[in-house]
Structure 1
Amino acid sequence: MSSSHQAQTSPGVSSNSSSMSNSSLSGSSNHWSQKKHESVLDFSKLSQIDLEKLLLTRLQGGSENGQFVYLSSEFEPAYLNFSTNSRLAPNEIVLEIQSNKISGYTLFDCIDLLGKLYKSNKAITFRSVRYISQHLQHDLRPYLDARFHKGSIDYDLQQTIRENVYMRTVPCTTRLPRTGEINGQDYIFLSDEQFLELEQSGELLEYGVYNGHYYGTPKPPRRAINLLSTCSSQLQSPKISDINSKRNQSLNMMHNNVQGMIFVFFSMNGSVLLF
């Protein structure tokens, strides 16, 4: 959990912070940063329908699923036109798109970004990780669990993930609201039992205990994507024109993956989870 305080242990819910120290391999060939590369994809010969198929059938993950955005194992770079020798490859984690650091983005937001870039830029730069090591996998939670030294590559990536996630969800806590705090906007205020059920359902990216109260970061809400009726595949494609990012408006999304509970999440304007 993004806190300057060390979480206390408590019955029922324990902190998911790992005791893993900062990776000392950042300068070695085994560290994920040494596998990062840049690819420039030329979209000039790619139709919008082909782009839509590429986006939804070949991009997976997203923070709403507790994952980095990554390329599926079925991704086929051979039919795409790259203007660099370096090419995207299956299972790669995408860290940046046209200088936008997307770790912590939802899949919806990543698709939205690419759709907008397609309209204004025919050549789009991707920065991705070619090799997925034990220190950087598709799942966000193990990476967020680890502790890294401030200023390290891993620490900076952790912060990027958290900043992007906090713009897309509202933290939850079991403490009472303070003066001026609004439920569903500053925090979602829960009972201990509700928090425990949320944690056990796997809906929290991070959680911990501070001053006897539980704090957690829920996954951002899943957002519906309008699909092309002409696509017969189970993995259908979105209409790029129908994807409209509304980061500065209330999402008003019912997030009801937890049995017996329904939560309303709102987007935040750069809010940061502070204790």
Structure 2
Amino acid sequence: MSKTLKKKRHWLTKVQECSVSWGGTGELTTVVELRGGAEHGEFPYIGRVASEVAVCQAGRFPASGDVLLEVNGTPVSGLTNRDTLAVVRHFREPIRLKTVKPGKVLNTDLRHYLSLQFQKGSLDHKLQQVIRDNLYLRTIPCTTRQPREGEVPGVDYNFISVEEFRELEESGVLLESGTYDGNYYGTPKPPAEPSPVQPDLVDQVLFDEEFDTEVQRKRTPSVSKMDRTDSTAPEEEEEEERRAGCLSCRRKKK
């Protein structure tokens, strides 16, 4: 008789790192394709992998479809594909990639992950904050409430009507949306290409130790605390088959 038991595991148990080198010919993207990006509503993820050319000096080589979390310790969740590639090009080989195999909670669907409600202080809650920090480098959240004293429209928030908000929801532009204190809040997808007036955020923000992340997070409490339509996080499950009582069964047959 066989029995299947289900073990619940957090996606953190599936995270892996790999220091990739490719002989100095071309860029990392010539051997490891990077797909996705926040402009598509996706986490950055691994595409085609030329494992016959690239070498994993330490760790396990990422597989096609794996979600890319960090590049040399720099979080890339919530970045556009263009900005993710810019982060990669900033470093010389070997480049350390932190990836995770997609699951029920964390996969390539960025909108799905942001729709979930996690306990404050948990790893997932912190990752959602990192995602919003990166998103706010290229996009501006929107709300239907009135501006407060000191807030600048188009800088802190885009202040819009309820009708305009619903149009954004229906068009699929919003990566997350919900209500807080009776008002609607949402985070639009960033554009694939930044505005010409925007600075090079890779050099001036992501790698600037003096950059004050609290400035980026001053808008997130209302967004992170808002009520969502579907906020229940599915539990990661990994099936493990165990055969119980086989010996006793055999003995009975004898």
CA distance in 1, matches of 2:29, 2:38: 20
Question: Which residue matches 2:252?
Answer: none
Secondary structure class of the residue paired with 1:40: strand
Question: Which residue matches 2:55?
Answer: 81
Paired-residue identity, %: 38
Secondary structure class of the residue paired with 2:172: coil
Q: How does 1:54-73 map to 2 (within 5 A)?
A: 54=31, 58-72=33-47
Question: Which residue matches 1:174?
Answer: 144
Equivalent in 103, 110, 121 of residue 151 of structure 1: 121
Output the amino acid matched with 2:67: I
CA distance in 2, matches of 1:246, 1:99: 17
Q: How does 1:40-51 map to 2 (within 5 A)?
A: 40-43=19-22, 45-48=23-26, 51=28
Output the amino acid matched with 1:35: K
**Cα displacement string for residues 73-120 of structure 1 (whole angstroms, at most 9, x for unaligned residues):** x33323212212511211010111101111111111110011111xxx
Question: Which residue matches 1:31?
Answer: 10
**Cα displacement string for residues 208-243 of structure 1 (whole angstroms, at most 9, x for unaligned residues):** 12233211111112117xxxxxxxxxxxxxxxxxxx
Question: Which residue matches 2:82?
Answer: 108
Output the amino acid matched with 1:144: L
Bigger fraction of residues in helix:
2
CA distance in 2, matches of 1:34, 1:70: 18
Secondary structure class of the residue paired with 1:270: helix
**Cα displacement string for residues 30-61 of structure 1 (whole angstroms, at most 9, x for unaligned residues):** 43211111100114x1323x545456xx2111
Output the amino acid matched with 2:94: A
How far is 1:247 from its partner?
Answer: 6.5
Secondary structure class of the residue paired with 1:217: strand
CA contact (8 A) 1:77 1:88 kept: no
CA contact (8 A) 1:41 1:81 kept: yes
Question: Which residue matches 2:99?
Answer: 128
- For these two proteins, the number of residue pairs brought into alignment is 203
Relative distance call for 1:125 and 1:215 in structure 2 (3 A) is same
CA distance in 1, matches of 2:52, 2:62: 10
Asked if 1:245 is matched to 2:245, the reply is no
**Cα displacement string for residues 107-141 of structure 1 (whole angstroms, at most 9, x for unaligned residues):** 11110011111xxx221111101x21111110012
CA distance in 2, matches of 1:269, 1:168: 14
How far is 1:171 from its partner?
Answer: 0.9
CA distance in 2, matches of 1:246, 1:166: 11
4+ runs deviating over 3 angstroms: 50-55, 246-249
Gaps of 5+ in 1: 1-24, 225-243, 250-267
CA contact (8 A) 1:167 1:269 kept: no
CA contact (8 A) 2:87 2:202 kept: no
CA contact (8 A) 2:86 2:202 kept: no
Relative distance call for 1:153 and 1:246 in structure 2 (3 A) is closer
CA distance in 2, matches of 1:62, 1:211: 31
Question: Which residue matches 2:207?
Answer: none
**Cα displacement string for residues 129-183 of structure 1 (whole angstroms, at most 9, x for unaligned residues):** 1x21111110012211212223322222222212222233111111222233222
Gaps of 5+ in 2: 1-5, 205-213, 223-254
Relative distance call for 1:247 and 1:100 in structure 2 (3 A) is closer
Q: TM-score normalised to the size of structure 1?
A: 0.66
